[in-house]
Structures are given as C-alpha cells and as structure tokens.
Amino acid sequence: MSRKHRTMLVLLAIALTTVLIVFGWAGRHAMGRTSGEPTPSVVTTTVAANPRPSKTDPTLRTRDVQRLCEQTAPKVVTSYVTDSPDRSRLLDEYFTAQATGRNVPVSHIKPQPAKQFAGALNVEQPLGHAVCSVNTGLQSSPWMLEFDWEGTLGWRCTSIQGPIQGAYADGRL
C-alpha cells in the first residue's frame, strides 16, 4: 500500500471519528442533554474474563441510553469477544436473533489489547434506538453497536461491528 493510500485511510478514519463525535454531541444537545461531556464507564476485562450478568441484566431494562452505552455496551462487547463457556447464553441475552455480526465465531475475533473497555453514547434517537461505541484499546477506532428498545425485553443489540483493522482475524470476516 502506498504512502498516499495510507495517508488517505488515516484521514478518513479521523474524519469518521470526528463525524461520530459531532453527531453524538448534537444528539445529546437536541435531546436536552447539555450537562456536559459524560465520563465513560469502564469495564475491566481479561482474556479469561467470564462475564456473567444476572439472568436478565437490569441495565437492559432501563430506558437511560447514557447508562446503556456506558455500562452495558462494554459488557456486550466483552461477552462477544471472549471465548467463555456461556458465550452463547450471553449473546442470546444481549442480542436479537438476527443481529448483524452476532454469528461471527469468537475464533474469528482477535484478542482485544485493553484490559478495560470504555463505552460512550454516540447517537440517541427518540424512537428507542441508540448507537454506542466501545473502546477496546485498538488504535484504529472503537467497536460500534446499535441497540433497539424491544417492549418487554428492553434494550437488545441489533448490530455489532469491530474496526476493520485489529478486530478480526485476517481474512476471517
């Protein structure tokens, strides 16, 4: 890859990150959340992490999207990228059955470099839809998650996508 192409990719990544930050700020501002920039919650993880929420994670049932993105989204990514015996059960709890990216085997996901995952709200829409980002220590960009509110079930992840570089095993996605 030529230097010109690498420079273009870096600039594109910076522009995309900037756009997502602006949309997140604008969404919070439009929804009356002008109290300042939130401090993202941090979830500690290790390669041997065994995330075990209650049978129904209580954070899934609150309509507070800030809490969803800061507390629950890091748990969702942790359960998604961690090879644990109860991964299938956790995916069933956090994701819709037809969620985009849900069926990627853990063997196709690279280990994430961070020991702590941090989540943040990017976009909140009034009709029960939220877009969250979770930083797992990859320098290229965060994992992106979309959530929809589903009546009696609460929030469910409808899409998960890792960064193009560093999230997935080479040639596996």
Domain edges within the chain: 38-161
pLDDT tens, per residue, the chain with 173 residues:
788 778 878 777 787 777 767 676 566 655 544 334 444 455 554 444 444 444 456 666 667 888 999 999 999 999 999 999 999 999 999 999 999 999 999 999 988 888 889 999 998 887 789 999 999 987 778 999 999 988 888 899 999 999 887 788 875 55
* Cβ-contact 163, 138 below 8 angstroms: yes
26-63 burial, b at 16+ Cβ within 10 Å, e below that, comes to ebbeeeeeeeeeeebbbbebeeebebebeeebebbeee
| pLDDT number for residue 126 | 74
| pLDDT number for residue 54 | 42
Residue 72 CB-density burial (10 A; 0-12 exposed, 13-18 middle, 19+ buried)? buried
| pLDDT number for residue 25 | 58
0.75 cut: is pTM over it? no
Q: What is the CA radius of gyration of the chain?
A: 16
| pLDDT number for residue 165 | 79
Nearest to residue 54, comparing CAs of 82, 75, 26? 75
| pLDDT number for residue 18 | 75
* Cα–Cα distance for residue pair 59/76, rounded to 1 Å: 11
Collapsing DSSP to helix, strand or coil, 114 comes out as coil
